[in-house]
A = this chain, B = another copy of it.
């Protein structure tokens, strides 16, 4: 039983690494099992399909990232500082990934969205739930900031979507140029998107 569950988690770990390196389509079950060091025949004991394995990889990755986002965005800092901290941790994670494997791997959810969302409804639906949850969390922070007069946005939901879109867009460029420093722009971008740029009056209060 201990051995059995170990094989399943080794398959999951191998799939996560390989998906980060090369995406989903390029992988085969045989390669995943070889990397995991488990017999190919045992794959279907744990997972019904490669798609089911991808969903398990997504769920595991999101469980960890959701805890990080909740910790940072639910902290006692003033709202905008929580967003700043989120960007700093995102940059640090991409730097750590680059140090470990030589390349910025980007956002697993963004990667799989552009690779797969038009091919499998199950994965599209799961990724939608994850990005909805990210937008929910950012919206909560923006709503608090709005109440405190720290930002000036017409609608916190649309503003949250724009902030998460900017995050995904800059992570895309960090990956393309293999340069995590691209993420340093996120803080100023976020302030601008929320109408809180230091060089401009925030919340409609002219200087």
Contact = CB atoms under 8 A, between A and B. Distances in A.
Interface stretch (A82-90, A141-149, A156-164): A156-164
Chain A binding surface, main DSSP class: helix
Interface in A187-207: 188-189, 192-195, 197, 199-201, 204, 206
A115 B115 contact: yes
A177 B164 CA distance: 14
A21 B128 CA distance: 19
A152 interface: yes
19 contacts: A21-B118, A23-B23, A25-B25, A113-B172, A114-B115, A114-B172, A118-B175, A128-B176, A158-B188, A161-B182, A164-B169, A165-B169, A165-B173, A168-B172, A168-B173, A169-B169, A195-B197, A200-B201, A201-B206
